Structure 1
Amino acid sequence: MEIAAASRILGSDAWLGALPPDTRAALMGAARIRTVDNGAAVYRAGDPGDGLHAVLKGEIRLIGHTEAGRRLVYLILRPGDWFGEMSVLDGKPRLHDAIAFGPSVVLHVDSNRVDLIAAAHPGFDRAIGALTCQHQRAALAFVEQTLTASTEARLAFILTEMAGRHGRPVGNGVEIDLRLSQEDLAALVGISRQSLAALLGRLRRERVIETRYARLVVLDLEALQQKCGRPRS
């Protein structure tokens, strides 16, 4: 994939679009493109920060591991999503794994080039900070749900977020267009696969969702929003 094609993929991204044209051009001009095989890591927890990344094709998942060996999926990233900005700001090692699910392509701007862009384009550091804030707001909302909500409300919150970020309209609702196994979804919610199966069964009986192989369709988004405490839109 060429940089011109990458620019088209990222062209609708709100964060990139908010950069001044000369800064945006400098960022894309400094970028390199790499392919990542299914299951391979863009980086691992503990690796030194190596710059800023964006997904161009496929899917990257940010994954952590508890001391007990439990896998936690923090974020699912699709084409147009940027990641890796925290280590750019603080210079500290990576906090989690970034793993490809399916053959993927990522754009990479290494740390040295990011520093050069920041020196030449005042305000770029602030833009990186804004990207961090965007991700932290999403993380804090998730933490609030995790600490205060029931497991059903956490599941409803995550499905509502996914429907907004990754959903596509189908005849009977909104399909969450991810290769999402029950193990993956259980890791996102922070419960066992057995507990997740029981919750999904309840939502199916209530005709809130419909499940398919590695797919999930939200049939009643308003009911799902109510279950996670969100008002009707």
Structure 2
Amino acid sequence: MEIAAARRILGSDAWLDGLPSDTREALLAAARIRAVGGGAAVYRAGDPGDGLHAVLEGEVRLIGHSEAGRRLVYLILRPGDWFGEMSVLDGKPRLHDAIAFGPSTVLHVDSTRIDAIATAHPRFDRALGALTCQHQRAALAFVEQTLTASTEARLAFILTEMAGRHGRPVGTGVEIDLRLSQEDLAALVGVSRQSLAALLGRLRRERVIETRYARLVVLDLETLQHRCGRSRS
């Protein structure tokens, strides 16, 4: 993939679009593009921060591991999503694994070039801080649900978020366009696969969702919003 194609993919990204035009051009001019095989790591927890990344093709998941050995999916990143900014700001090692889910293409701006851009464009550090805040707000909302909500409300919250970020209209509702297995979704909700199966079964019987192979269709988004406290009423 050429940088020109990367520009088109990232052109609608709100964070990149919010940068001053000269900063945006400097960032893209400093970028390199790499292919990442399915299941391969963009980086691992504990690796030194090596710069800023963005997904151009495929999917990257930020994954942690609990002391009990449970895999925790923190964030699912699709084309146009930036990541890795925290280690750029604080200079500390990576907190999570960043794993390609299927063959993917990633844009990378290394730390040396980021430092040069920040020196030449003083507002860039603030923009990186805003990107961190964007991710932290999403993480805090998830933590709040995890600590205070029932498992059913957590599932409703995650499905509502996914429908908004990754959904596409289909005849019967909104299809969540992710290759999600029940194991993946269970990791996001923080329950066992058996518990998740019971929760999904209840939503299917109530005609709130419909499940397909590695995909899920939300039939009644309003009910999901109500169950996670996001109802407009």
Question: Do both share a fold (TM > 0.5)?
Answer: yes
Return the alpha-carbon distance in structure 1 between the equivalents of residues 65 and 151 of structure 2. 20
SS of 1:108's partner is strand
Q: Which residue of 2 aligns with 1:158?
A: 158
Counterparts of 1:29-40 in structure 2, within 5 Å, are 29-40=29-40
1:122 deviation in Å? Answer: 1.2
Letter in 1 for 2:25: A
In 1, distance between residues paired with 2:173 and 2:231? 19
- Structure 1 distance, partners of 2:66, 2:166, is 27
Secondary structure of the residue aligned to 1:179 is coil
Pairing of 1:74-223 with structure 2 (within 5 A)? 74-223=74-223
Q: 1:67 offset after TM fit, Å?
A: 1.1
The alignment covers a number of residue pairs equal to: 233
User: What residue ranges of structure 2 are gaps of 5+ in the alignment?
Assistant: none
One-letter code aligned to 1:213:
Y
CA distance in 1, matches of 2:99, 2:18: 28
**Counterpart residue type for residue 203 of structure 1:** L
**Whole-Å separation in 2 of the counterparts to 1:96 and 1:135:** 14
What letter is aligned with 1:49? Answer: G
The alpha carbon displacement at 1:68 in A equals 1.1
**Letter of the 1:215 counterpart:** R
Q: Deviation above 4 Å: which 4+ runs of structure 1?
A: none
One-letter code aligned to 1:178:
L
- SS of structure 1 residue aligned to 2:74: strand
Partner of 2:224: 224
Runs (5+) with no aligned partner, structure 1? none
Give the alignment's Cα RMSD to 1 decimal.
0.6
- Residue aligned with 2:142, SS: helix
Deviation at 1:197, TM superposition (A): 0.1
Per-residue displacement from partner, 1:209-232 (whole Å, max 9, x unpaired)? 000000000000000100111123
Q: Which residue of the partner structure matches residue 63 of structure 1?
A: 63
**Aligned equivalents of 1:107, 1:211: Cα separation in 2:** 33
**Percent identity of the aligned residues?**
89
* 1:30 alignment partner AA: A
For residue 164 of structure 2, give the secondary structure of its aligned residue in structure 1.
helix
